[in-house]
Amino acid sequence: MHHEEIRKLARLEDSHWWYRERRHLLARMIRRLTPGIALDVGAAGGGNTRVLVAHGWRSTAVEHGEEGAAIAAARGLPVVRADACHLPFADRTADLVIAFDVLEHISRDDAAAAEIHRVLKPGGTFLATVPADPRLWSAHDVAVGHVRRYTRSSLQALLWRNGFEIRSCRSWNVLLRPVAAWRRKRVSGSDLQEPHPLVNRTLAAVVGAERYLSVGRWPGVSLLVHARRPQT
């Protein structure tokens, strides 16, 4: 992701409806896990790393880019600069790895998945989000450095062939998918912008409603997967 996009992300993520809901999803998914050693792969400025730390995890922000690593360090987070395909950690050392909106940036996503599997302890958890549905491909994807959008089957196949067990794989940002599809056809670059406060609150309410609705099997803008390394 370009330096400008990283700076924009860090500036907006505390208040932007999309990032706030994604942090809520992360917090909900780790609530029943016993805190231990966590790696936030592709951490950017460390917004999700802060969620892990707040929930008691000994967490490291793993970020390839200089800009994102500097922002995470300035926030007081432990940071390691590294490529997701070559993680500088020993085998079987992490209890949890997260990669939120990371795999779609990596041309060799099999290599990244294999590395994440390698560093996880047996029984360790892997949580990831990715952009969904190649039909939604647009100038936004190009602008933010995506190399693909996933289908549910392609994401699951990636994890299965790299040794993971999949506990759940579901869509999110489902209710706003028609809006996203309409908007993506009309933008010529990244659509990450600061929304008007009223728009921000409205979109937050819509996507937040998915917490109480059974829409995870419907087509959405993103996929959320919960996987683990088998015990053996």
pLDDT given at position 44: 93
pLDDT given at position 105: 96
Alpha-helix residue ranges (DSSP H) falling in the chain: 3-12, 17-30, 47-54, 66-74, 109-119, 139-143, 152-161, 177-184, 197-208
Domain coordinates in residue numbering, the chain: 3-228
pLDDT tens-digit map of 134-193:
999 999 999 889 999 999 999 999 999 999 999 999 999 999 999 999 988 887 777 778
- The residues facing 97 across adjacent strands are 39, 126
Q: Which two tokens stand for residue 52?
A: 């892990």
- Return left, alpha or beta for 193; rule: phi > 0 is left, psi -120 to 50 is alpha, else beta: beta
Is residue 9 pLDDT above 80, yes or no?
A: no
CATH class of 3-228: alpha beta
- Cα distances (Å, whole numbers) of residue 92 to 35, 38, 86, 107, 111: 16, 12, 15, 25, 16
- Give the pTM: 0.94
Relative orientation angle of helices 17-30 and 47-54, to the nearest 10 degrees: 30
Tell me which residue of 214, 129, 128 sits closest to 174, measured CA to CA.
214
Q: Is 122 exposed, middle or buried (0-12, 13-18, 19+ CB in 10 A)?
A: exposed
Is residue 25 pLDDT above 70, yes or no?
A: yes
pLDDT given at position 232: 81
Q: Are 134 and 149 in contact (CB under 8 A)?
A: yes
Q: In angstroms, rounded to a whole number, what is the distance separating the alpha carbons of residues 58 and 173?
A: 29
Q: In angstroms, rounded to a whole number, what is the distance separating the alpha carbons of residues 186 and 175?
A: 19
Q: What is the mean pLDDT of residues 11-17?
A: 89
pLDDT given at position 2: 60
pLDDT tens-digit map of 113-143:
999 999 999 999 999 999 999 999 999 999 8
- The residues facing 120 across adjacent strands are 94
Do you know the residue count of the chain?
A: 232
b/e per residue, 2-22, with b = 16+ CB within 10 A? eeebbebbbebbeebbbbbbb
